[in-house]
Amino acid sequence: MMPSHPPVPPLRRVAVLSVHTSPLEQPGTGDAGGMNVYIGQTAIEMARSGVSVEIFTRATSSDQPPVAELAPGVLVRHIPAGPFEPLSRAELPAQLCAFTSGVLRTEAFHEPGYYDVIHSHYWLSGQVGWLARDRWGVPLVHTAHTLAKVKNAALADGDSPEPRTRVIGEEQVVTEADRLVANTPVEARELVALYDADPHAVRTVSPGVDLDRFSPGSTAMARASLGLPGDAVVLAFAGRLQPLKAPDVLLHAAARLLRDRPELAERLVVLVVGGPSGSGLEQPHALRELARSLGIERQTRFLPPQPGRALAEVFRAADVVAVPSYNESFGLVALEAQACGTPVVAAEVGGLPVAVSHGVSGLLVPGHRAEDWARALGSVALRPERRAELAANAVRHAARFSWRRTTETLLGTYADAAVAFRDARALALQEVAV
């Protein structure tokens, strides 16, 4: 029989590991996306609740300060590891040793027990967290955000499969982490079925949305700020321009919509917001060329990645936001658009059926055929009454999610992990003594 233990002390400080991307970076280009938003927003909410957060990320420029403040109570530590320049994720495993050394060296300047828990994001960070957990004697909580086995099962045309190195690395982290945080029940099941995760170690914690920043507003004013006609039919995409996110699906669908409804030629606007990322870096102008070849160059407008409030204006200006990804662990863009009162048409993959309530706040499309997407987009954008109904429901649906709620659940997961970690160590010591 295990002896009773005193309660675990309250959390004081969390070490967050994000090797390949920083919450200080602008989402929508490079490797910056929903994960950056997740890390930054949950860290800010933790600090507001009295828990300090230190985020470790790789330094990509010699101009970056060793430590930057993201918000009161939230520090971002830039760890030198490899050249002072962005590296692809394929190049980063070679820098994990240097990065881990920097993380451990930082902790060594403090008294033992300085950090209460480690939360690693993406498998590269999980590899670092695994070692830090053993060295510091604190629990490791891990969020994958995307899984190689899932991504490889649903590759977009022109995309490259994730390497075996990543698959093995993910399997190792799943085995070693004290708690695994999944964004949706679907991801939780994938961790168990595909990675043999312990079901008792998996917790489902839905991401949130900044309901102050992303909120309903004037469509006319948003369109005026973007230089769009007030009577335009606006289809929008926001995200990294890479095969996985499938912005090309929207272009093909728009071309099909114009073929079926040629009278829209003077009113249709296809708004593509984002920058090249991953394999998209190899062909940064491919989408412009595709628009030209499809005959919709005049209707298509490209904008660079937009910061939060400007992105909200993009969503308010749109009749519908398309999220045609081949895989999404959740789909924050879908939630942000709905919070602005804009219906979403999304692919029926990954966590998007959680982010979008089919037939209520938007539509889910099985597959990526242009005719199916054109039909779904037209059924929302070209039917004002239907669109108004979905828009009102979209706001209510998004209101169910908040970063405060996400963070409260995360903090509960940390506390749970701390208790389990303490008990496991006590049991191990007892077995050694016997």
**What tokens were used for 343?**
């219906």
Q: Give the DSSP letter string of 164-221.
A: HHHHHHHHHHHHH-SEEEESSHHHHHHHHHHH---GGGEEE------TTTS----HHH
Residue 32 has what DSSP assignment? -
The tens digit of pLDDT for each residue in 38-82 reads 999 999 999 999 999 999 999 999 999 999 999 999 999 999 999
The tens digit of pLDDT for each residue in 389-427 reads 999 999 999 999 999 999 999 999 999 999 989 888 777
Strand partners of residue 347 = 365
Note whether residue 3 is domain-resident.
no
Note whether residue 214 is domain-resident.
no
Residue 276 has what DSSP assignment? B
| 204 and 295 share one domain | no
The tens digit of pLDDT for each residue in 119-149 reads 999 999 999 999 999 999 999 999 999 999 9
315 is in an annotated binding site: yes
Q: How many CB atoms lie within 10 A of CB 20?
A: 24
Amino acid 89: pLDDT: 84
pLDDT band at 5 (very low <50, low <70, confident <90, very high): low
| 172 and 272 share one domain | no
66 is in an annotated binding site: no
Amino acid 426: pLDDT: 76
Give the integer Cα–Cα distance in Å for 236 and 317: 9
342 is in an annotated binding site: yes
**What tokens were used for 284?**
């940064």
| 140 and 235 share one domain | no
106 is in an annotated binding site: no
CATH code for the domain in which residue 140 is found: 3.40.50.2000
26 is in an annotated binding site: yes
The region, left, alpha or beta by phi > 0 then psi within -120 to 50, assigned to residue 345 is beta
Note whether residue 137 is domain-resident.
yes
User: Do the Cβ atoms of 377 and 257 come closer than 8 Å?
Assistant: yes
Note whether residue 153 is domain-resident.
yes
φ, ψ at 220 (rounded to 5°): -60, -45
Note whether residue 361 is domain-resident.
yes
Q: Which residues constitute the domain of residue 424?
A: 13-208+403-433
Note whether residue 234 is domain-resident.
yes
421 is in an annotated binding site: no
* b (16+ CB within 10 A) / e for 87-117: bebeebbebbeebbebbeebbeeeeeebbbb
151 is in an annotated binding site: no
| 74 and 21 share one domain | yes
| 363 and 350 share one domain | yes
The tens digit of pLDDT for each residue in 367-376 reads 999 999 999 9
195 is in an annotated binding site: no
Q: Length of the chain, please?
A: 434
240 is in an annotated binding site: yes
| 270 and 371 share one domain | yes
262 is in an annotated binding site: no
Strand partners of residue 1 = none
415 is in an annotated binding site: no
Strand partners of residue 141 = 119, 179
SS3 at position 357: coil
The tens digit of pLDDT for each residue in 317-331 reads 999 999 999 988 888
| 124 and 22 share one domain | yes
| 412 and 265 share one domain | no
Note whether residue 4 is domain-resident.
no
32 is in an annotated binding site: yes
Amino acid 157: pLDDT: 75
Cα pseudo-dihedral 85, 91, 93, 98, rounded to 10: -30
27 is in an annotated binding site: yes
Beta-strand (E) ranges in 196-335? 202-204, 233-238, 268-273, 300-303, 320-323
| 374 and 423 share one domain | no
The tens digit of pLDDT for each residue in 200-214 reads 999 999 999 999 999
Note whether residue 5 is domain-resident.
no
35 is in an annotated binding site: yes
Residue among 28, 50, 30, 27 at smallest CA distance from 39: 27
203 is in an annotated binding site: no
Amino acid 1: pLDDT: 45
| 279 and 385 share one domain | yes
149 is in an annotated binding site: no
| 231 and 302 share one domain | yes
Residue 235 has what DSSP assignment? E
- pLDDT greater than 90 at residue 26: no
If one counts the domains in the chain, the total is: 2
31 is in an annotated binding site: yes
- pLDDT greater than 50 at residue 279: no
| 202 and 260 share one domain | no
306 is in an annotated binding site: yes
Query: Region 89-102: what's the mean pLDDT?
Result: 94
Amino acid 382: pLDDT: 97
